[in-house]
Amino acid sequence: MLAINYIKLRIKSFVFAFKGLMLLWKEANFRIHCVAFVLVLIVSFYLEISRLEWIFVLLSSTLVLVSEAINTAIEKTLDFIKTENDKRIEVIKDISAAFVLIAAISAVVVGGVIFIPKILLFFQ
């Protein structure tokens, strides 16, 4: 009986996680990052990147998506806590948005290091 309850709880936690993904999908910035991720995957397949390059592409892309999810959670929490303008909350939101920007810049750099040399080979 204990094992069945454990399994039910695990299934329930996955249901909550997928519900969270559906809520994230409603966020425009998350959808933009997902579209960019799909484009990166297409380019990666086309350019036949190595396994190690795949690891870097997937990790950096995932970091962007996770950062956007955390940023969204922070913003929703702060909106729930206080609805009127507050400079302190504005600072927290700006910093939260900054780590998404940092992750995105890092992903672009990783992509540049991997893709630019391969693309330049086409023009030689």
Q: Is residue 84 among the annotated active site residues? A: no
Distance between CA atoms of residues 38 and 50, nearest Å: 18
Annotated catalytic residue, options 48, 53, 68, 75? 68
One-letter identity of residue 111: G
Q: Positive or negative CA dihedral for 47, 49, 55, 57?
A: negative
Active-site residue numbers? 68
